Structure 1
Amino acid sequence: MHIALGMMHNWLEGVLSEHFRHRWGFQEDSQEKQKASERASPKSKRIRLGSENLTLDQDEVVDNDTSLSSDDDDINLGQGINGELMTKVDMDLFQYLMQDIVTPTGATKLPCNLGHAKHGCLKAEEWLSVFTLIIPLIIPELYLESRKMIGPKSRQGTLLQNTGDLVQCTRISMTKVVRDGHAGRFYNAYNRYWESSKKLFNNPRVKPNNHYALHIPEQLKL
């Protein structure tokens, strides 16, 4: 028996959902795990988010900007609630930054409680908006304080490349007009994305949607 999956189901509700919820770990969890995740976040992010949302422990309060610097400017991986990329602070800051983004007229409106269980699963058009309009603006804000911090083999550079390749694949796969070269660009970007995912997310499992995505270049040529 052959099962045919549509592009919308496979890519938007499959690959993107898996990446966002399980590799980045952007989803609601228990209060105990959330508190542990908050403590794992850099102080600079907690301070940036503001005292209205988070409270620093007394011994973590800083007096000047120099206290925010670190000997290791690169990001730490696996600091999320269940060992994923995003901490509770990252998720709160993501939602906070979303409020200032002006999306084009006609774009699908996204819920302010993104990632909360009570909102339910995002629809395909919402995933498209998240990865083409929101993420390209927010991820650099979250994980990059200066362009000078991007080293050729740094975790920041790998994360930005990984995210950029996923966004590029999304734009190509959802394009209304397929042009010469789109199939090759998707193939190259998706392979780079998968190789960098192995480094960032500890060799993630290959799921059916990931395997099916390898056939998207063939579909673009039809």
Structure 2
Amino acid sequence: MFHPLRKLQYRDPVRDIILGFMHNWLEGILEHQLRALWGIGRDTARSKTLAEFDEADDDEWTDSDISESETERNELKQEAQLFQDPVQWDQWRDTYLATYGASSSQASGTSTPRSIDLNLNEDVQMSYGDLIASEDAMEEDSDHTPVPASDMPADEPAHDESDTFQDIAVKGSWSFDKSRLAQLRAAIQEIILPTWVARPPGNLGEPGHRSLKADQYLILFTVILPLVIPEIGFDGSSDRQTIMLKSFQDLVAATIILTAFQTSIEAAV
């Protein structure tokens, strides 16, 4: 079928395409945020999918995995300390020579972790002091490009490896508790709106009302929720709530920019 837009010679059908934000954003992104991520009106299919995600997250890091990871970390530490102790270096060198010898090293074409050709054969006896001297000579022969001083302060506190990781992520099955949901529903009914504005249902999230329309999602996320969410909050954890509030702020800002009649590069950044 011939479309009148094809008469516009300057129109590029790829670069000049306009996505319908009503279906893609209002009835897509905002609906997913409300029903799936916040659990307000979450259906059975979404609940089942999110439960599978939660189960996968729980199995991702078990006590056994953490223990194995700690063991591997300690082994790497021991290997790193090997070349810092002259005695351990000599022991490793002797063991390596006795185990592999010159033929094995030359056949495989491998090099030592210090990136120095030891020429491992029976005639070479390199000590730890010889190794350090060789490295110093290599550094002197290299290009003497000045290295800028570090910007890190001299009194930078050392990283405390004893700090335990705190998982403050929100699981897929997260949802508003009953008290916060009740406050949200009360606010929907009490907030003063123009008569021509489509007010979201007062029993939001219950199966008693039909699916929300696009303009109801728009009013909910740009007018009602910005007035209510900062007051009722999301969660009891202060760290988690801070992150969720920041995410909600970004979502509202993106919605306002997307639905504006005009915008600019300054507003986008």
TM-score, normalising length: structure 2: 0.42
Match 1:160 to one of 205, 222, 245: 245
Which secondary structure does the structure 2 equivalent of 1:135 belong to? helix
Q: CA deviation at 1:112?
A: 1.3
Q: Which residue number in structure 2 is paired with residue 137 of structure 1?
A: 227
Q: Which amino acid aligns with 2:175?
A: L
Structure 1 residues 125 and 15, CA, compared in 2 at 3 Å: closer, same or farther?
Answer: same
Q: Which residue number in structure 2 is paired with residue 109 of structure 1?
A: 199
The CA deviation string for residues 109-140 of structure 1, in whole angstroms up to 9 with x for no partner, is 22212122221211100000000011101111
CA distance in 2, matches of 1:18, 1:139: 17
Matched, 1:87 2:177: yes
Structure 1 residues 29 and 96, CA, compared in 2 at 3 Å: closer, same or farther?
Answer: farther
CA distance in 2, matches of 1:76, 1:139: 19
CA distance in 2, matches of 1:172, 1:135: 17
* 5+ residue gaps, structure 1: 34-74, 186-222
Q: Which residue number in structure 2 is paired with residue 15 of structure 1?
A: 29
Q: Which residue number in structure 2 is paired with residue 169 of structure 1?
A: 254
Q: CA deviation at 1:169?
A: 0.5
Are the aligned partners of 2:188 and 2:199 in contact in 1 as well (CA < 8 Å)? no
Q: Alignment length, in residue pairs? A: 132
Q: CA deviation at 1:97?
A: 2.5
Which secondary structure does the structure 2 equivalent of 1:134 belong to? helix
CA distance in 2, matches of 1:150, 1:87: 13
Q: Which amino acid aligns with 1:7?
A: F
Q: CA deviation at 1:89?
A: 3.0
Structure 1 residues 4 and 171, CA, compared in 2 at 3 Å: closer, same or farther?
Answer: closer
Structure 1 residues 172 and 121, CA, compared in 2 at 3 Å: closer, same or farther?
Answer: same
Structure 1 residues 126 and 77, CA, compared in 2 at 3 Å: closer, same or farther?
Answer: same
Q: Which residue number in structure 2 is paired with residue 216 of structure 1?
A: none
Structure label with greater radius of gyration = 2
Q: Which amino acid aligns with 2:263?
A: V
CA distance in 2, matches of 1:28, 1:89: 17
Structure 1 segment 171-186 matched on structure 2, within 5 A:
171-182=256-267, 184-185=268-269
Are the aligned partners of 1:98 and 1:138 in contact in 2 as well (CA < 8 Å)? no
* 5+ residue gaps, structure 2: 1-13, 48-167
Q: CA deviation at 1:86?
A: 1.3
CA distance in 1, matches of 2:241, 2:170: 10
Are the aligned partners of 2:188 and 2:200 in contact in 1 as well (CA < 8 Å)? no
Are the aligned partners of 2:36 and 2:42 in contact in 1 as well (CA < 8 Å)? no
CA distance in 2, matches of 1:113, 1:76: 28
Identity %: 35
Which secondary structure does the structure 2 equivalent of 1:119 belong to? coil
CA distance in 2, matches of 1:110, 1:17: 13
